[in-house]
Amino acid sequence: MANYNKVILIGNLTRDPELRYTPKGTAIAKLGIAVNRTWRDANTGEQKEETTFVDVDAFGKQAETLGQYMKKGRPLMIEGRLKLDTWDDKQTNQKRSKLGVVLEAFQFLDFRSGDDGSGGPPRPRPASTTAPAPSNQASTPPPPAEEVQPAEDDVPF
């Protein structure tokens, strides 16, 4: 049976990225993204809107880049995979779970000059954090993107 787990979301950050490091030095960024959906009610013709809030975990260099350039309210496109976290709630002794996204790639979206409230110039806008641009020289292909995820004991949250 085939399996496929891919998520692409475009939205705005709900908070500044929370950047931490494991004892081994791996960067981990936790961020939230709000994704809006609008539609017109078939019965009333009224325009409706709903917002979905998604927690995203990023690792390694991508986490550092997000922590450096992104702030609350900024638009961002993310690509990743769904991950279900489960735990026992110590207060209620019940099983709890939460669906989140593990970031695999992202792209900064266009910013208007000075829209961050700082009055300064817009931040740099890399094209993407996926594969580097190909060169004309013959070389060995780059190794596959390694998935750097620390052991659960290493996570500083």
For residues 34 and 61, the answer to whether their CB atoms sit within 8 Å is no
* pLDDT beyond 60 at 13: yes
Q: Which of 4 and 150 is assigned the larger pLDDT?
A: 4
For residues 35 and 12, the answer to whether their CB atoms sit within 8 Å is no
* pLDDT beyond 90 at 116: no
* pLDDT beyond 50 at 138: no
Q: How far is the C-alpha of 35 from the C-alpha of 55, rounded, in Å?
A: 11
44 beta partners: none
Q: Tens of pLDDT along 16-44?
A: 999 999 999 999 999 999 999 999 999 99
27 beta partners: 21
Asked whether the whole model's pTM tops 0.75, one would answer no
* pLDDT beyond 50 at 126: no
At 22 the three-state DSSP class reads coil
Residue-level pLDDT at 136: 43
Q: Mean pLDDT over residues 98-103, rounded?
A: 96
Of all helices (H) and strands (E), which one includes residue 65?
Answer: helix 60-69
Residue-level pLDDT at 147: 52
For residues 31 and 70, the answer to whether their CB atoms sit within 8 Å is yes
Q: Tens of pLDDT along 40-72?
A: 999 999 999 999 999 999 999 999 999 999 999
Residue-level pLDDT at 143: 45
Residue whose structure tokens are 């709900």: 14
Give domain 1-111's CATH number out of 2.40.50.140, 2.40.50.100, 3.40.30.10, 3.90.1150.10: 2.40.50.140
**pLDDT exceeding 70 applies to what percent of the chain?**
70
* pLDDT beyond 70 at 127: no
pLDDT band at 3 (very low <50, low <70, confident <90, very high): very high
